[in-house]
Amino acid sequence: MAYTKLPYVAEYDLRPGEDRMPLWKRAWEKAGGHAFVLESGKEGRYTYLGLRPNALIRGKGRRAEAIEWGPEEPESGPDGEASPAEPAATRRLEGAPLALVREWLLRHRAPLAEGAPRFAGGAVGFWSYDVARSLERLPELAADDLGLPDYAFLQADELWVVDHRRLALYCCLHVPTPETGDIEAAYERTASRAEAMKRLWDEIAASAAEEAGQAFLRAMEEAIEEGRSDGPLNVEAYEGIRTATSKEDFMKAVRRIQEYIGQGDVFQVNLSLRQSRPIRTAPEDLYEWLRRINPSPYMSFVRFPDFQLVSASPELLVKLDGDRMSARPIAGTRRRGRSPEEDAAMEAELLASEKERAEHIMLVDLERNDLGRVAAYGTVKVPELLTVERYSHVMHLVSQVEGKLAPGKDAFDLLAAAFPGGTITGAPKIRTMEIIEELEPVRRGTYTGSLGWIDYAGNMEFNILIRTMAVQDGVCHIQAGAGIVIDSDPEREFYECMNKAKALWTAVRHGERYEARHAERHAEWRDEPRAER
């Protein structure tokens, strides 16, 4: 297929500290109703920020809509606000989710720009757990009470990429290949748009560097320190949280799973618990808090007009770079110690646990089998096994699984083989998904789905949506799960689910405290008009 788009990348130097300011808070004020940031809080190199996507596809079941917006200069209006953009075209589509998104994205192909960041344009979005219904025949028992899309992807032909290692800003654009006329003239127009993007960046950075922006940063650090002095958040006692399943019903579900295990149906099932609470802070601000108190490898914030995703996921689902594919399963958890000595003891206990090691290796084998479905023969390897990774509130056992994609296969074949991740279903995967549908009263939605990107050359990187908030109509929904085996203690597994949500509810607590002290200024921010795009 001939290239339909051409990349343009402009590189600019950043001032020391300019990549670490409370920048995103100002950026959201310039964004429309659809925007995103992807970054790694664990010493990651790149941050990807898209304020004005040029197209959207979102669907539920087999029905979808694809929207395209007309070209627009990435400048703010005369009052400093984002200006609305009307859809240039809307199409109604019908088909399987992966097939529709593949066709929607692969209408366009583009080469990789030399020296560009790893992701410089393409599609950014998520697959909900319920996309699995299009891949396997599953019963439909759980209530779809939130009604969120099964998937939604933004096409980003203009994005900022911050290189924290080189202290550089890339303005990345993709332009349609001219059907007629001078390609040099098209590049000149694109260069002008890149300069406009840089001017907008400078405007946002200057605002973030002002006293108000620095005061916000100081207030955040003070609130975090105050939270430390309060001690760990007791999630079970946190006012206003309601669970989709009572403790008693959750424990009954654990015992039912153990019956299935005893009958030989399954080896392990990941059973989850949704927690919900009205919140009094903007999801954009929650992301600022979360990225400071719980930095993780797959931080992300994605804004849609009707809901937002705030994520601090530690886990990779799949990554594809050329024909090199990889997965990084996580299974096995301990809380962090209150001192270095206790932390080391918790690590030793985790590594010594025969139960945790056996469960982890079983799930690594499941991942090997998933990758093996689309791998060139004999290429699937496990170069890293049973490593401990630490996060703010917990530590995990992780492994690395790698392979080479078989000729004739693409990113969507790999997604179909690996989705949803075995670490958040159990083994064997299909039977555990049937049991999850039976025992969890509400659909998982975005929880244990996957969020990430696919570029125009077919490379991709997707996380697993755990440690994630879905915010809708002023209510924050957080879900966490536990791997149930034959000797699991039902009450302990309930509290493990609550404990895994602790970092996210701590971010809510910090945000609401700050909000209460700065209510007037936040009310003004909330009243600002926001473009639909």
218 is catalytic: no
DSSP 375: B
**Measured between alpha carbons, how far is 348 from 126 in angstroms, rounded to an integer?**
36
Rg (CA), the chain: 23
Please list, in sequence order, all residues whose beta carbon lies within 8 angstroms of the beta carbon of residue 222, skipping any fewer than 6 positions away.
none
Q: Out of 102, 334, 393, 396, which one is annotated catalytic?
A: 396
Q: Out of 48, 170, 287, 447, which one is annotated catalytic?
A: 447
Cβ neighbours of 383 (radius 10 Å)? 9
423 is catalytic: yes
Q: Out of 291, 467, 513, 522, which one is annotated catalytic?
A: 467
467 is catalytic: yes
For residue 436, give the amino acid letter: I
**Measured between alpha carbons, how far is 291 from 285 in angstroms, rounded to an integer?**
10
Q: Out of 281, 423, 432, 448, which one is annotated catalytic?
A: 423
Count, in order, helices (H) and strands (E) of the chain.
13, 24
Determine contact, residues 389/320, Cβ cutoff 8 Å: no
Residue 136, sorted as left (phi over 0), alpha (psi -120 to 50) or beta, turns out to be beta
For residue 379, give the amino acid letter: T
CA distance to 135, 143, 242, 277, 485, per residue, from 479 (Å)? 23, 15, 11, 12, 20
Q: Out of 50, 213, 403, 483, which one is annotated catalytic?
A: 483
Nearest to 510 by CA among 315, 271, 354, 293: 293
Burial class (CB in 10 A: 0-12, 13-18, 19+), 379: middle
Active site residues: 396, 423, 447, 467, 483
